[in-house]
């Protein structure tokens, strides 16, 4: 499933590439104002920080929320105290798009993550051209050469890579890159099984000084407290925010 999702994302990029030549995307990326400092926004503090996600649907859960106005939802997240916003830009399974990201960019002053199956430099340039400040790299979907190439390009463009892992071996590969922002996704992207305890089992492997992100499976403040007790600096939350009251839920999560 993961490789099918990755292949689809790359295919979508190639379709857009025909519509929008590389030189044009490069030019659009270069004229954007500099990316916001996501490492500063997500810096460990006395309270847990939240990356709030714009998520319409997913392979594991199907349709979640209509989200006719992603900019309005992003403004609610900002008002509710989120530290960054994740925008799913994959269209086929998640119902997202780069248009969503551009709309969110125009609406908020928070760092924005392009959450997608990034496999090509073109997609990284697209992210910057749309106004992203962070780009997700999923270790399971990339070999070490690809990871290095994409990681370095994200940095070169002034953005921050969020390097996502799901095992000790993947965490070690993220650490070897020199990643400063590393996530452990509780969701196995092939089986969709959730394991909230995975973060805790891997927490000791994060290199000193990295920002530790617990991704997925936050349904309640208790889940946030569980991740926080295990050492998370940041939680990334999608479904609970798009299916509930985002401001009330953020307030409960930030009170942990």
Judge whether 8 counts as a catalytic residue.
Answer: no
Q: Residues of 236-249 as b/e, b for ≥16 C-beta within 10 angstroms? A: bbbbbbbeeebeeb
* Pairwise CA distance, residues 87 & 97, whole Å: 8
- Please, which residues have CB within 8 angstroms of residue 206's CB and are 6 or more apart in sequence? 171, 175, 182, 212, 231
25/98 with CB nearer ligand LARABZUK: 98
Judge whether 49 counts as a catalytic residue.
Answer: no
What is the CB neighbour count within 10 angstroms for residue 177? Answer: 19
Binding to ligand LARABZUK (CB under 6 A): which residues in 48-107?
53, 55, 58-61
The binder of ligand LARABZUK chosen from 216, 227, 232, 233 (CB under 6 A): 216
Judge whether 76 counts as a catalytic residue.
Answer: no
Looking at 13, 49, 53, 86, which residue is catalytic?
53
Q: Are 158 and 135 in contact (CB under 8 A)?
A: no
Q: How far is the CB of 159 from ligand LARABZUK (least distance, A)?
A: 19
User: SS3 breakdown of the chain: % helix, strand, coil, rounded to 5?
Assistant: 45, 20, 35
Judge whether 78 counts as a catalytic residue.
Answer: no
Query: What is the total count of residues that contact ligand LARABZUK (CB under 6 A)?
Result: 19
74/240 with CB nearer ligand LARABZUK: 240
Reported in sequence order, the residue ranges of the chain that DSSP labels E, i.e. its strands, are: 49-54, 57-58, 62-63, 84-88, 112-115, 134-138, 160-165, 181-185, 211-215, 234-237
HSE-CB of 105 using CA atoms within 13 angstroms: 21
The span of 121-129, 139-147, 173-181, 186-194 binding ligand LARABZUK (CB under 6 A) equals 186-194
Is 249 a binder of ligand LARABZUK (CB under 6 A)?
A: no
Binding to ligand LARABZUK (CB under 6 A): which residues in 227-246?
236-240
Q: How far is the CB of 58 from ligand LARABZUK (least distance, A)?
A: 3
**3-class DSSP state of 234:** strand
Q: How far is the CB of 59 from ligand LARABZUK (least distance, A)?
A: 4
159/217 with CB nearer ligand LARABZUK: 217
Angle among Cα 105, 110, 113 to the nearest 5 degrees reads 70
- For 92, phi then psi, to 5°, come to -70, -45
Judge whether 57 counts as a catalytic residue.
Answer: no
Catalytic center residues: 53, 55, 115, 164, 185, 215-216
Site residues (vs ligand LARABZUK, CB under 6 A)? 53, 55, 58-61, 185, 187, 189, 192, 215-218, 236-240
């Amino acid at each position: 499933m993961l490789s099918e999702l990755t292949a689809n994302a790359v295919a979508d990029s190639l379709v857009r590439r025909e519509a929008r030549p590389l030189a044009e995307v490069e030019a659009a990326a270069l004229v954007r104002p500099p990316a916001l400092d996501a490492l500063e926004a997500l810096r460990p503090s006395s309270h847990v920080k939240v990356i709030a996600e714009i998520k319409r649907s997913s392979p594991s859960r199907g349709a979640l929320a209509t989200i006719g106005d992603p900019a309005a939802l992003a403004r609610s997240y900002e008002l509710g105290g989120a530290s960054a916003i994740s925008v799913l830009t994959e269209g086929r399974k998640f119902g997202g798009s780069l248009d969503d990201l551009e709309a969110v960019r125009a609406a908020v002053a928070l760092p924005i993550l392009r959450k997608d199956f990034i496999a090509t430099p073109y997609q990284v340039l697209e992210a910057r051209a749309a106004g992203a400040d962070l780009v997700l790299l999923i270790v399971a979907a990339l070999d070490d050469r690809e990871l290095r190439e994409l990681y370095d390009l994200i940095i070169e463009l002034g953005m921050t890579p969020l390097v996502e892992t799901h095992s000790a071996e993947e965490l070690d590969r993220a650490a070897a890159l020199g990643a400063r922002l590393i996530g452990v996704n509780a969701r196995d992207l092939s089986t969709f099984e959730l394991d909230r305890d995975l973060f805790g089992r891997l927490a000791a492997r994060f290199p000193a000084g990295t920002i530790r992100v617990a991704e997925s499976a936050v349904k309640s403040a208790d889940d946030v407290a569980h991740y926080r007790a295990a050492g998370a600096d940041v939680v990334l939350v999608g479904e609970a925010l798009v299916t509930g009251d985002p401001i009330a839920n953020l307030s409960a999560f930030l009170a942990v």
